[in-house]
Amino acid sequence: MKKTFKIEDLDCPNCAAKLEKAIGSIEGVTRAGVSFIAQKMIIEAEEKDMESIVKQIPAVAKKTIPECRVII
Amino acid sequence: MSKKQKKLLYRIIISLILFAGIIISEKIFAPQGYNLSVLYLVPYFVAGYDVLLGCFRNIKNGKFFDEEFLMTVATVGALIIGEYPESVFVMVFYQTGELFQNIAVGKSRRSISGLMSLMPDEATVIRNGEEETVFPEEIEKGETVIVRPGEKIPVDGIILEGSSSLDMRALTGESVPFEAEKGNEVKAGSINLTGILKITVIKEYADSTAAKILELVENSTLNKAKTERFLTRFSRYYTPAVVISALLLAVIPSVITGDWKDWVYRALIFLVVSCPCALVISVPLSFFGGIGGASKKGILIKGANFLEALGNARTFVFDKTGTLTTGEFSVIGVYPSKDSSEDELLSLAASSEYYSLHPIGKSIAAAVNNVTVPDSVKEHSGFGVEAQTTHGVILSGNRQFMKNNGIASPDDISGTVVYVALDGVYKGCIRLGDTLKRDVKTALTKLKQEGIRSTVMLTGDNDVAAREAAEKLGISDYKASLLPDGKAEYVKSLTEKKAKNEALVFVGDGINDAPVLALSDVGIAMGGVGSDAAIEAADIVIMDDNIGKCVTAVKIAKKTKRIVRQNVIFALGIKFAVLIFAFFGLTNMWIGVLADVGVAVIAILNAMRTMKIK
């Protein structure tokens, strides 16, 4: 399944790429996309894994790009 | 400018003023034996404290070799070897470049997302007799929404009250406004231009075509272009490689010559230019710009990879019916017998087909004005019709039908043909064909000008009809009498034959060619509005059925490709030049930082041109 989140204060495409890589390496995520243009994040994962992935997102985002905020 | 950008601007200005102050004070106090070098640390920290913090954070996360790390090592290195003013200048300049980049990128982001903003952020609903402002997602079926001039229609619905002109450009690419009035169905994403409308909601937000389009565009980030992937891989090696050469440059010649300061300085320039930011930022931005610009023209592209592939297109394969032709029959040839005339023949045929519901019969009836209403009609299913009229008994149908009735007819006319006889005497035959869409020929000529070497037409029609259409359109190749799976097989054989770096594009109406759309490198579905299946199956969706949009899409793809290539060559060229100059000691650090951030800003501005392709 896919899930989309809004992101605030994602400043540069490079940050988006970093965030994308970090989110993509969370266990269970099959595909992750961070759109700097749309200020959105899309995650693809098995339905059973989704809940635990979503829980980890804020921490991972904060660690990678401290100034941005993922709205869950 | 955002708050953050303003803050950075102030920091840059303050540190520049301090910097100038220190240089002047040095001029005054240095001759008296005071060393003010330590003061340079103040503007250095004012300008660059966040870079240093970022560097520590990255190291803590186990990430080396990113921008902040490189700038920190370069400037701290400069401080250590005693190049204080240089170090401050590099930091200030780097931050100025970052600020410019930030502003340029932010601006382009807003204009691209502006192109894609199909849906309004809020809507006005009537609940309990009062107007209420809600998110479009919250509107339910059966509710009534009010849309004022200048607003976007938030959900699909039927007009309950009012009339207005609607701008549907974002949905269909059609620039002429649609005049909508009471009872008309309206689509979410249209812009209300003139009157106030009350609309009964028939579909929830998420089910509207516009919402599906939006989702498609947002999902496009998942599909990265090959160039993007290549650059990510490239930067993974480029940066460490430059850093290692910097390290070698700092150590080996220094040991040999003993001149540590000079060689360390040269090595630091290496660090300054070792970040591939110009590429990492500008390449995705170019593709985004191209996708955004295309979506404004009613061409939806599902990802940068498809835009890139379209730029390498050499072969275009078209489905005939519905794509090149309208799918409606029309009379293309009238062949009266010696004792008859075109008018008589058409009139007889039309009279006999007067009640016909068959598309062929209907198209004949539509072509003729002079019709005699038949007294009675007998259908011979699979053969034709027999009509009793004041002129006599008219038979019209296929050749077998004539034969069955003992009427001799010529057999040298092929295609879709209707034979006509009056009172047992052969009167002639009428040939029918699909109507070609307007502008198809122009579009195909333009495609050739854009470097499309071969065009292929696939059809289920017989060979004669296919050859005729292909010749008329100037299509280089065609394949007739294909069943739906035959189309897929043929396209598969074509993809196996083509060169690896070339792309095969299939254009269909998306209704029953999903497998072919999937097989081709780029599948384009035409006439996307209202057909969610097409939006699902294709890589590129053209919202209206104007085949000229294929040309526009190819143009955008090629221009984007060109701009990406320009940026890659420009950025890498400048960087390698600076690396070489630095190696021979012919340049200084601030030229290095200019090459880094200046190039990035220029590349970003260049990338933005993709949005404005005609």
Where helices occur in B81-176 by DSSP H, the ranges are 84-116, 169-172
DSSP state of B321: B
Tell if the CB–CB gap between B221 and A64 is shorter than 8 Å: no
**CB spacing of A33 vs B277 below 8 angstroms:** no
Q: Does B603 touch chain A (CB under 8 A)?
A: no
Q: Do the chains contact at A38 and B217, CB–CB below 8 Å?
A: yes
- CB-based contact B111:B99 (threshold 8 Å): no
Question: Amino acid identity of B193?
Answer: L
Residue A42 has pLDDT above 90, yes or no: no
B112 contacts in chain A (CB < 8 Å): 37
Instruction: With CB atoms and an 8 Å threshold, state whether A35 touches B232.
Output: no
Average pLDDT in the B100-114 region? 77
CA-based R_g, chain A, Å: 11
- Contact check, Cβ <8 Å, B221/A66: no
- Assign B303 a pLDDT band (cuts: 50, 70, 90): confident
Dihedral pair phi/psi, residue B516, rounded to 5°: -70, -40
Please state, rounded to an integer, the average pLDDT across all residues of chain B: 85
* Of the candidates A27, A36, A47, the residue with the CA atom closest to the CA atom of residue B101: A36
- How far is A61 from chain B, CA to nearest CA, in Å? 12
Query: Rounded to an integer, what distance in angstroms lies between the CA atom of residue B411 and that of residue B420?
Result: 13
Question: Is there a contact between B310 and B553 (Cβ–Cβ < 8 Å)?
Answer: yes
**Mutation for testing the A interface, residue in B2, B68, B219 having most A CBs under 10 Å:** B219
The dihedral over CA atoms of B546, B552, B554, B556, expressed in degrees to the nearest 10, equals -150
CATH architecture of the region A2-71: 2-Layer Sandwich (3.30)
CA distance B109 to chain A (A): 5
Give the integer Cα–Cα distance in Å for B553 and B613: 10
- The pLDDT score that the predictor gives to residue B584 is 92
- Taking each helix axis from N to C end, the angle separating B440-449 and B463-473, rounded to the nearest 10 degrees, works out to 60
- Which residues on B lie below 8 Å from A14 (Cβ)? 67, 277, 280-281
- The pLDDT score that the predictor gives to residue B554 is 95
Question: Where does residue B353 rank: exposed (0-12), middle (13-18), buried (19+ CB within 10 A)?
Answer: buried
Burial of B106 (0-12, 13-18, 19+ CB in 10 A): middle
The one catalytic residue in B319, B461, B521, B596 is B319
Reading phi first (left if > 0) and then psi (alpha if -120 to 50, else beta), residue B162 is in left
CB distance B319 to B487 below 8 Å: yes
A25 reaches B (C-beta below 8 A): no
- What digits encode the pLDDT tens for the residues B313-370? 999 999 887 788 876 777 878 888 888 888 888 888 888 888 877 777 777 877 787 7
Q: Where are the domains of chain A?
A: 2-71
Report CB contact under 8 Å: A35, B218: yes
Q: Which of B390, B398, B446 lies closest to B421 in space, CA to CA?
A: B398
Q: How confident is the model at residue A6 (pLDDT cuts 50, 70, 90)?
A: confident
Nearest Cα residue in chain B from A9: B4
> Which residue ranges form the domains of chain B, and what is each CATH number?
3-113+223-285+561-612 (no CATH), 123-204 (2.70.150.10), 301-324+437-543 (3.40.50.1000), 327-435 (3.40.1110.10)
Active site residue B319: yes
Q: How sure is the predictor about B411, in pLDDT bands with cuts at 50, 70 and 90?
A: confident
B531 pLDDT tier (thresholds 50, 70, 90): low
Residue B446: CA count within 13 A, CB half-sphere: 14
Is residue B191 predicted with pLDDT exceeding 70? Answer: yes
Q: In this predicted model, what pLDDT tens digit does every residue of B422-463 receive, in sequence order?
A: 888 898 988 887 778 878 889 999 999 998 989 999 887 778
Which B residues in the span 52-71 are in contact with A, Cβ-Cβ below 8 Å?
57, 61, 66-67
pLDDT of B561 strictly over 60: yes
Count of other CB atoms within 10 angstroms of residue B484 = 12
Each residue's pLDDT tens digit, B246-277: 999 999 998 898 888 889 999 999 888 887 77
Question: What share of chain B in percent tops pLDDT 90?
Answer: 23
Whether residue B555 has pLDDT greater than 90: yes
Q: What is the pLDDT of residue B45?
A: 93
Tell whether B7 is within 8 A of chain A (Cβ). Answer: no
Task: Pick from A5, A7, A8, A14 the residue to mutate for testing the B interface (most B CBs within 10 Å).
Answer: A14
Higher local confidence (pLDDT), B493 or B118: B493
Contact assignment for A4 to B218 by CB distance below 8 Å: yes
Average pLDDT over residues B546-552: 90
Here the tokens at position B71 are 């700038």
Report the percentage of chain B scoring pLDDT > 70. 95
CA distance B73 to B373: 94
pLDDT classification of B513: cutoffs 50, 70, 90: confident
**B150 in Cβ contact with B165 (< 8 Å):** no
Q: Is the pLDDT of residue B553 over 90?
A: yes
Contact criterion met (CB < 8 Å) for A12 and B292: no
Whether chain A has a CB inside 8 Å of the CB on B233: the answer is no
**Is A14 within 8 Å of B280 when comparing Cβ atoms?**
yes
DSSP codes of every residue in chain A: -EEEEEEE----HHHHHHHHHHHHTSTTEEEEEEETTTTEEEEEE-HHHHHHHHHHHHHHHHHH-TT-EEE-
Asked if B51 reaches chain A (Cβ–Cβ under 8 Å), the answer is: no
Q: In what order do the strands lie in the sheet with A40-45?
A: A29-35, A40-45, A2-8, A69-71
DSSP secondary-structure letter at B598? I
Is residue B28 helix, strand or coil?
A: helix
State which of B117-131, B308-322, B515-529 shows the largest mean pLDDT. Answer: B308-322
Which one of B61, B67, B135, B222 makes the best mutation probe of the A interface by having the most chain A beta carbons within 10 Å? B222
